[in-house]
Amino acid sequence: MTRKIILIISMLLACVYGDDFDDGVVSYHQGDYDKSEQVFENSCKSGNMRACSSLGYLYVNNKKNPNLAIKYYNLSCLNGDYRACNNLGAIYANDQNTSYDMAKALFVQSCANGINGACANLHTIYTVECNLSNFTSCNELGVLYEYGKGVVKHYVYATKLYQKACDGNDGLGCSNLGAMFYKGFGVEKDINKAKEFFEKGCFLGNEIACKNLQALDRT
């Protein structure tokens, strides 16, 4: 798989921490990486997760110490900095010796918490996997297009991806395809086709499809 992954830049100016974090940012942009490292480290020890994440960025891009980058990105990620989760995922994704599943899990977590770059990273992965007939990934790619996460919202393309997933017997893909026909998103509204795909998804064991089918039968 081509490993083309986005690394979100976390070096942002902020004036809300009441410590020397901003001085570290200024030093970084002046090219004084030793001083910025010292400032970020002190700020990180004081509980500033932005500083911890900035250390990770520094160790990836300037100090070239991937082990320390992983350490500080992981610390920030565990404390709710979802940009750091994405950046940690990017390190794993670009490491040929690391499982892609670790990177994907971090991108999923980060994307779900509003980090658009992580959604774009998932788009890269899901596109390759879908082209390799991983039908679960075709469905997940469809979700990105349906909701405009990391890509421009495109109902027609989402529907085509759900169709490909359903044709490959992905139950959730069938359920999502049925929902598109039920709502008339990307296709002409067709309750009968919606029911057909809900039935297939339910037969394949997808609980959401079964619930959608039951709800449709009650109408």
- What does the pLDDT look like over 126-151, one tens digit per residue? 999 999 999 999 999 999 999 999 99
Contacting residues for 129 by C-beta, under 8 A, at least 6 apart: 1, 137
pTM of the model: 0.86
Average pLDDT over residues 41-65: 91
CA dihedral 145, 151, 156, 161 (to 10 degrees): -50
More confident residue, 185 or 93: 185
Residue partners of 198: CB distance under 8 A and separation at least 6? 174, 175, 178, 209, 210, 212, 213, 216
- Position 5 scores a pLDDT of 63
Q: What is the pLDDT of residue 100?
A: 81
Question: pLDDT at residue 40 above 70?
Answer: yes
Beta carbons of 168 and 150 less than 8 angstroms apart: no
pLDDT interval class at 9 (50, 70, 90): low
The domains of the chain, with CATH numbers, are 1-111 (1.25.40.10), 133-219 (1.25.40.10)
- The band of 4, judged by pLDDT with boundaries at 50, 70 and 90, is low
> How confident is the model at residue 135, as a pLDDT?
98
* Segment among 10-24, 98-112, 132-146 with least mean pLDDT: 10-24
Reported residue count of the chain is 219
The pLDDT value recorded for residue 95 is 82
